Structure 1
Amino acid sequence: MFGKNKKRKSQKAAASSSEWEEFNPKLFQTKDQSENYEEKRMHNRRVAPGRPLTTDAYSHFENYGFLGPFIEQEWLKVISLNVPYYPKLVQYFYNNIVYERNANGSIHAFKSYVNGVAMRISKNVLAQVLEAPNEGKRINSYDAWNETHFTRAKQIQTVCGLDEEEDAQGRNRPSGNHLTVQARVLHHMLSYNILPKGGHRETVTYFDMELLTNLLLSEKVNLPYLIFNHMLTAAESSNMNLPYGMILTMLFEHFNVNLSEEVGLRISRQEFYTVSSLKKMGFELRNGEYVRVNNGHGGDDDDDDDEGDEGARDEPMGEAQSSTPPITLQRVWERMDGMYEYMGQMSTQMTGMHDYMGQMTAQMSTMQVTVNEMRDEWRSFSGRYMHPTTSDHHHASTTNEENVDEREGGDE
């Protein structure tokens, strides 16, 4: 028995030694990061690079008002970014994130480690790299759920183009096909570049509605805050697509990460937004304006959506473009990625609902205590100053009779 235990210990030690030998200080700062990379299967996580516009599409989108909100927000660099991206480095970036917290526990910055270079990411750093000011409303899913900035009716009125806020009362959360043309195009571009999704681009979350409402009403939104928080969400998730492939290239260059020996990918021509993308979304130019002609479940730029989001047709730089369509299994995986991400969003919303219900329960408990106190005070007041009760009448009558008996007996 002793010999077997000794043998097991030696095997375990050998395994640990082997694992430690696999630790690469160029890729990880700690052994925990190396083990986390395997446990979370980061090498299988797909990267969402972003989706820019072609030169023709840029002019066309601008002429028909689709870029106006992005211009007002100073977000043009993000939606126009067209640089190589590096999937393996993106995976290491998210795997190696370590939080920096304030005294109250909130995360104000985080550190990561890529190709032997330590990076400290804050909202100010993102603002510098993205050329977008670190100012404006700090929107998050909790505020969107709790209608912190706009009521639900106001959100629906704005994104659906209703005349009055009252017209939106009682309506359910809309889908992409219920949005105005401008709101639908903005939502589609947001789902690739600002809050990347793995699919289900026809789904409009409460967070989406909050963001769209601010953009359409020209309310300044803090882009570095949005991207910072979405990065943290991706790092915490075990299945979410890894966002901002091309933005991270800009960050790597900002911190002088050596990219010369890395294999960079570029999105293919078909993955850009083009003038024809509007038609694929279900819109048609009539009498100088775009109108919806799609009444079904399309309108989602489906060809680009299925094949473009996670780099299914990404090509190494310098290689000829392949005309071979993605295999069916690839499409299945993309849809599953989208479902996982959607479930994560629903989980976040449910957490918000749980917190909200907890607040409501606490308020109801406080109200109950107040009602009980008011009831006790009323009873005390009525007993002292209002008409006597039946028992009080009986007590008074008995006392009077006793007094009469005493007086009569004394006279005798």
Structure 2
Amino acid sequence: KLVKEFYMNLRIVSSPHEEFALSSTVKGQRIFLDARILASILHIPHSGLYIFEYKKWPEVEGFHPNHILSILYPNDPNIHPNMALCTNKLSVDHRLLHHLIVHQLLPTGGGYAKLSWMQAFLMWCIISKVEFCYPLLMLHTMVRAFTQKKSVLPFGSILTKIFRHLEIRLEGEIGTKLKKEDTYNKSTLNRMGWKKQG
């Protein structure tokens, strides 16, 4: 219930020339979040690339879409950056990485058969060991979920941690248990086609 309230009251409060920031109200208490504050609450870094794109390929020095496409689709010489990308042609390792991105890093709900340009970019960052500002991506994912007609409300567990950090009273709230698909185990890997070697 509090997660829904957070998203119902969510607003972008930064101007285009300021660091990206959000505000919401839960149980009458104002919540202000930017990448630094979120990183501090979660005890994670807020360094790395400050970028978030969904309508075009991210423009970052050292990155070219053809490079990640050649890694993800090595047997498809016809693949190019303007194509719609599908996950069914990814290797098992890359499908697992994509699964982690769409379920854990940037959960958006919906189908997972398509690979967005931002998801492909994050795969490049992870494969190439290029640091990106995860708290900033989380904030943008929250806004994207809020503005989409059909979307999950992401980061429920993280929002609960934020509420606790800000001492928002949780008495009387009903917790939600993790679903089977929110955990990774041997059966998850088997469903994705991973086979144990040796």
Match of 2:106 in 1: 195
Please point out which of 24, 43, 58 is paired with 1:112: 24
Q: Are 2:134 and 1:223 aligned?
A: yes
Q: Are 2:180 and 1:272 aligned?
A: no
Per-residue deviation, 1:148:
3.9
Q: Are 2:154 and 1:255 aligned?
A: no
Q: Are 2:124 and 1:124 aligned?
A: no
Q: Distance in 2 between matches of 1:120 and 1:156?
A: 38
Please point out which of 60, 67, 72 is paired with 1:159: 72
Match of 1:48 in 2: none
Q: Distance in 2 between matches of 1:91 and 1:185?
A: 29
Q: Does the 8 Å contact 2:13/2:21 carry over to 1?
A: yes
Match of 1:185 in 2: 96
Per-residue deviation, 1:207:
1.2
Gaps of 5+ in 1: 1-87, 288-412
Q: Does the 8 Å contact 2:54/2:117 carry over to 1?
A: no
Q: Secondary structure at the match of 1:113?
A: strand
Per-residue deviation, 1:270:
6.1
Using CA pairs under 8 Å that are at least 6 residues apart, name the structure with larger relative contact order, 1 or 2: 2
Q: CA RMSD in A?
A: 2.4
Aligned residues: 195
TM-score (norm 2): 0.86
Per-residue deviation, 1:271:
4.4
Q: Which runs of 4+ in 1 moved over 6 A?
A: none
Q: Distance in 1 between matches of 2:130 and 2:103?
A: 21
**Could you say which structure has the larger radius of gyration?**
1
- Amino acid of the residue matched to residue 115 of structure 1? K
Please point out which of 286, 297, 301 is paired with 2:197: 286
1:234-261: per-residue Cα shift (whole Å, max 9, x none)? 2233432211111111111111111121
Q: Secondary structure at the match of 1:154?
A: helix
Match of 1:92 in 2: 5
TM-score (norm 1): 0.44
Q: Which moved more, 1:119-128 or 1:195-204?
A: 195-204
Q: Secondary structure at the match of 2:195?
A: strand
Q: Which moved more, 1:105-114 or 1:133-142?
A: 105-114
Per-residue deviation, 1:275:
1.1
Per-residue deviation, 1:132:
1.7
- Amino acid of the residue matched to residue 20 of structure 2? H
Q: Does the 8 Å contact 1:124/1:134 carry over to 2?
A: yes
Gaps of 5+ in 2: none
Q: Distance in 1 between matches of 2:144 and 2:8?
A: 12
